[in-house]
Amino acid sequence: MADTLSALRSLMASHSPPLDALVVPSEDYHQSEYVSARDKRREFVSGFTGSAGLALVTKNEARLWTDGRYFLQATQELSDQWQLMRMGEDPAVDIWMADNLPRDSAIGIDPWCVSIDTAQKWELAFSKKHQKLVQTSTNLVDEVWKNQPPAEINPVIVHPLQYAGRSVADKLKDLRERLIQENARGIIISALDEVAWLYNIRGSDVSYSPVVHAFAIVTSNSAFFYVDKRKVSSEVNTYLEENGIEVRDYKSVSSDVALLASNQLKPSFKETEITGNGTNKAEDKNDDQIWADPGSCCYALYSKLNPEKVILQQSPLALAKALKNPIELEGLKKAHIRDGAAVVQYLVWLDKQAQEIYGASGFFSEGEGMDKKKHSKTTKLTEVTASDKLEGFRASKENFRGLSFPTISSVGPNAAIIHYSPQAETCAEFDPDSIYLFDSGAQYLDGTTDITRTVHFGKPSAHEKACYTAVLKGHIALGNARFPNGTNGHALDILARVPLWKSGLDYRHGTGHGIGSYLNVHEGPHLISFRPHARNVPLQASMTVTDEPGYYEDGNFGIRLENVLIINQADTKFNFGDKGYLQFEHITWAPYQRKLIDLSLLAPEELEWLNTYHSKCRDILAPYVDESEKAWLKKATEPISA
């Protein structure tokens, strides 16, 4: 790490102009949350492996900013050459640079790895002391990264209409109508999941996300797909051409954006071929603007545009993709049933291992500690061997395509690390006297899943039970909410926290995120969170969102419960203000652990909800498990009386 920093500082000094600081963000050219191995530049430079964060290297300092999910992990992973900056507590990176770097400083950034929004925000902060953002012509990290993984050539795959639910022609027609409404003659699409969704294609360029490294440009009469052409088979090329989409080389997006800006971007094939895909009206003189999403379009492409003729607005595809069509909703429900069966099979297996290897009292019984005499000296279970078994159960299910994020399989104190990712060499051994939290999900052709359960195979303490019950109460309260149309996730976030706040407890992450249809596990534009941007988009019928409150006690344990919900119209007795009301429908099926619940803290209606949920769980999952698993499931979902 020291060599990396000194090599970077040497490049910074020899750069023209010399750089006083270099920013190394986590994102790739598409501002993705999860990136491919060759794009993990911030991880390479800092040693911090979390999915979110930003590294800053100055002449004599190295600092890493990350959010509350990763404070504990970052303190464990960063060497003493790095200083952790806690987002929300310490000054933001732009404020820190503006205040601490010398007047007239040059701050280097690869313009492909930073969004328009971020670059403009920084330029504003730097203007006070005449500091300037310098766009480097190459990525300096790439120059010092000797064994940087090569770019992978993975095939582009057509996502069939039986899963997508809407044709490309239909999606392009809607998009072109939005362009007309906004007086735009073209749009640059950078977000990988938006490109995949619009063109009904998938790939495997990024672990856990079935996306392709590609850009798209759509105008009133043409559509382009910028990708490494080696990934496109002749069949896929034909499919794209039939949909009026021209395949161009990934690297030519930069020159094509410049052509788009000067209204000289023309398709190679006849424009008349694609009139079926929406309005092909003559371009009006007013339609001279280009739409670019400031959150996902990189600064490098923005720099090719005339800033006076750019619409800087969230991509219209973000909301269109979040509003699931009936086929996507049906697919998500089916995928979650198969996924729930895998989780139950895993819990049955884990319960058996805890008892056989460790002499634990098990999932149902609260016996004191473990029977030391029964503890096997030859066999042991670790966080990684356990999560591998869970992956195996999922892999046996229909339409399975891989995991949707690295499984969080965490024992005891590790469960307090919110986004803990166990490694085979360093992970903890299973401990039946500690809480075990697993947060996991899968990609299926018909939907993406994400579920968290927290369990204990020994005797949980009264404090652990009280904390688990507070989290469960918040989880139930949010899931049972009814709210008027127009309500955003910022307004609902408090519902999941109130039971924790009663005891002076809380958690440092949002409460819910959207989820893709065989796409990204974290999907916007909506979310349920205390963060201000949760106010931006109201929750709407046919969106998906997770319900995942938690509580984490550093050094001891962590608790989180997570289900995926669908938002539906609510049939309320009244309809004040003629707004229409909404409610949630749970589509995740797996039991909560009875022995972790302090029943004295549950209200009668909460207990009734739990029993109803468990009854559905039993009925829905029973056909997907064998007889012994069915017996376990029956016991795990038995009605609980107060």
Taking alpha carbons only, the member of 210, 319, 211, 296 closest to residue 543 is: 319
Taking alpha carbons only, the member of 196, 238, 233, 239 closest to residue 215 is: 196
| Domain limits, CATH 3.40.350.10, in the chain | 1-144, 157-268+286-322
Helices 116-127 and 93-100 meet at what angle, rounded to 10?
30
| SS3 call for 340 | helix
Written as one string, the DSSP assignment of 426-467 is TPPBP-TTSEEEEEE-EEETTEE--EEEEEESS---HHHHHH
Determine whether 164 is exposed, middle or buried from the number of CB atoms within 10 Å of its CB (0-12, 13-18, 19+): buried
User: How high is the pLDDT of residue 642?
Assistant: 77
Q: In order along the chain (642 residues), what is the average pLDDT of each group of 10 residues? A: 90 97 97 94 96 96 95 94 96 95 96 97 94 96 96 96 98 97 97 98 96 98 98 98 98 98 90 45 65 98 97 98 98 98 98 96 82 68 97 98 97 94 94 97 98 98 98 98 98 98 97 98 97 96 98 97 98 95 98 98 98 98 98 98 84
Give φ, ψ of 559 to 5 degrees: -135, 135
Residues in a beta bridge with 90: 87
User: How high is the pLDDT of residue 278?
Assistant: 46
| CA–CA separation, 234 and 232 (whole Å) | 7
Token pair of 485, please?
A: 């149309």
Give φ, ψ of 454 to 5 degrees: -125, 130
User: How high is the pLDDT of residue 378?
Assistant: 76
Taking alpha carbons only, the member of 454, 379, 387 closest to residue 423 is: 387
Give φ, ψ of 301 to 5 degrees: -75, -40
Helix or strand (DSSP H, E) at 411: strand 408-411
User: How high is the pLDDT of residue 1?
Assistant: 66
Q: What CATH number has the domain spanning 326-369+376-637?
A: 3.90.230.10
Determine whether 568 is exposed, middle or buried from the number of CB atoms within 10 Å of its CB (0-12, 13-18, 19+): middle
| CA–CA separation, 179 and 173 (whole Å) | 10
What CATH class does 157-268+286-322 carry?
alpha beta
Q: Report CA torsion sign: 62, 65, 66, 68.
A: positive
- pTM for the complete prediction? 0.94
What CATH class does 1-144 carry?
alpha beta
User: How high is the pLDDT of residue 287?
Assistant: 73
Name 49's Cβ contacts closer than 8 Å, sequence gap at least 6: 43, 73, 77, 421
| Domain limits, CATH 3.90.230.10, in the chain | 326-369+376-637
| CA–CA separation, 559 and 471 (whole Å) | 8
User: How high is the pLDDT of residue 282?
Assistant: 41
pLDDT for 366-399, tens place per residue? 876 555 556 666 789 999 999 999 999 999 999 9
